[in-house]
Amino acid sequence: MTTTLVIIDAANVVGSVPDGWWRDRRGAAERLRDRLAEHGVPGAEGPVEIVLVVEGAARGVASVPGVRVDAAPGSGDDRITELAAEAVGRACLVVTADRELRRRVGELGARVAGPRTVRGPR
């Protein structure tokens, strides 16, 4: 069984809940990373490789076992699209609510899911 690449749009997922994330963008990304490391991606079947794409103030977030953090040098959406393009021929799931990004990665063959997939309880 091949490993599914799961690409998480960190800014979009943490921004989907108005819990004060904007006061500490890096901390919000770290909490998401830690939740992913502990719980994985609910509903994902088989082995997964989780990549959390961060941008802006969250660029300093480090990888942990089970979650690779990829700091986008520019646009997070562009980096996510690049990663999805590199995954052609491999199962790929992109987690975001961004409609344009969903369209872009969908054209590359990636499946898409909304932030609730990984957001967890409020």
pLDDT tens, residue by residue, 56-70: 989 999 999 999 999
Average pLDDT over residues 21-33: 88
Q: Where are the beta strands (DSSP E) in 1-122?
A: 4-9, 48-54, 67-71, 92-95, 111-113
Residue 122 pLDDT more than 70?
Answer: no
Average pLDDT over residues 18-24: 76
Average pLDDT over residues 83-105: 94
Q: Is the separation of the CB atoms in 48 and 4 below 8 Å?
A: yes
Average pLDDT over residues 51-60: 93
| pLDDT tier, 87 (very low <50, low <70, confident <90, very high otherwise) | very high
Query: In angstroms, rounded to a whole number, what is the distance separating the alpha carbons of residues 53 and 101?
Result: 13
- CB count, 10 Å around CB of 114? 14
